[in-house]
Amino acid sequence: MSIRTLSINGVRNLESIDLSPSGTINVFFGENGSGKTSIIESVHLLAMTRSFNQARTRTALSLDADSLEVSGDLTDLGSLSYHREPNGKYRVLINHKPVQSISTLAHSVPTQLIYSGTFSLLEGSPSDRRKFLDWGVFHESEGFLEDWRLFQKCLKNRNSLLRSGKIDRSELQVWERGFIDTSVRIDQARKEYLAIFSPVFKDILSQLTDLESVELSYSRGWDKTRELADVLESQKARDCKIGYTQAGPQRADLRIRVNRLNAVDVLSRGQQKLVICALKIAQSALLQSQVTQPTIFLIDDLPSELDERHIKKLCRLLENIGCQVFMTAVESAPLVKIWQQPEQVRMFHVEHGSVSKVFNLGENNDRKL
């Protein structure tokens, strides 16, 4: 999957933009505030129907525009467009027909984002790491989404009953049965995914850094020696008191440790970034090896936190996994003489909300840098 053409209208400070990206590496460079991030944010809106977070989604519409539209022509898919109104209503069309569900789109256009907020994988709450883990499971395991939806419904209904004060036992039993069944399947799918993911992660990490002792471990969200039904029963009185379910996959975590200490507490900022990149690249490499579906990578300010040697290693790795990559950088210099196939690297100079120069590296373009 890659984007052959991209049109952006009404996003932040960007003028109307039409691009033909490279199928491999695309570098957007320019001064602070020029609009580089807004370009990769536009790709995120197109592929995911939202920006990097809720607040950014709400503010993405340009102050000067009546609506926002990002569209493109994608290999293996056809035309895709995302249109958003100021009131937040949006529509997504694939080949001019409304898309039935966002999960269909997510399946068709797997997208990975690495930006300053991605450090939450190490420093954030377990829910950030569960989201990461579930991205992989969702793409690998067919029934996962259905189980996940049913699980959420059972959890929500169990929690409302617990809070209601008067528990209808037979109703509670129905939701608990569903909760337990789906929990066991979700847990199993996560465990299986992690078993195949961990060695891929180790391999990718070793190509990026000398850090050897980064360990991933999974905690499923309830006592590993007991059945979930027993745990629910023994915690029911307390669950009633606090009004929600304490045990289950909604409390799972993916622990990322170095010498048994939390990675975030011992690694330097640059090392943290490399671990995050290895996690995301490993997920995509695995997805590509299993379902031959290349991911679209969006990397904001790739060089930040990294020295020259590690920038080169990271870029070479991205080049080798064969995904389409959109990256931004303030300066072009660190991203020029590092590629194996420079002629496939397309450079876009972004100035005051528009793309002022486009050229491929390796074609006597040094004057343009």
Rule CB under 6 A: which residues touch ligand ATP? 12-13, 30, 32-38, 59, 61-63, 328, 330
Strand, coil or helix: what is 10? Answer: coil
C-beta of 12 vs 310, nearer to ligand ATP = 12
* 72 assigned binding-site residue: no
Closest approach, Cβ 51 to ligand ATP, in A, equals 11
Q: Which two tokens stand for residue 258?
A: 């170095």
Closest approach, Cβ 138 to ligand ATP, in A, equals 29
* 37 assigned binding-site residue: yes
C-beta of 105 vs 336, nearer to ligand ATP = 336
C-alpha 325, offset from chain centre: 13
Dihedral, 225, 227, 233, 235 alpha carbons, nearest 10: 40
* 142 assigned binding-site residue: no
Sign of the C-alpha dihedral computed for residues 88, 136, 201 and 290 taken in this order: negative
* 30 assigned binding-site residue: yes
Short-list 163, 157, 155, 160, CA closest to 183: 155
* 33 assigned binding-site residue: yes
**Beta-carbon-side half-sphere exposure of residue 369 (alpha carbons within 13 Å):** 20
Closest approach, Cβ 25 to ligand ATP, in A, equals 18
C-beta of 62 vs 182, nearer to ligand ATP = 62
Listed in sequence order, the DSSP H helices in the chain are: 36-48, 54-59, 102-108, 120-123, 126-140, 144-164, 169-208, 228-242, 263-266, 269-291, 308-321
Total residues belonging to the chain: 369
Q: Which two tokens stand for residue 308?
A: 């020259």
Closest approach, Cβ 64 to ligand ATP, in A, equals 7
* 157 assigned binding-site residue: no
C-beta of 12 vs 273, nearer to ligand ATP = 12
C-beta of 17 vs 277, nearer to ligand ATP = 17
Closest approach, Cβ 36 to ligand ATP, in A, equals 4
Annotated binding site: 30-37
Would you list which residues are annotated within the binding site for ATP?
30-37
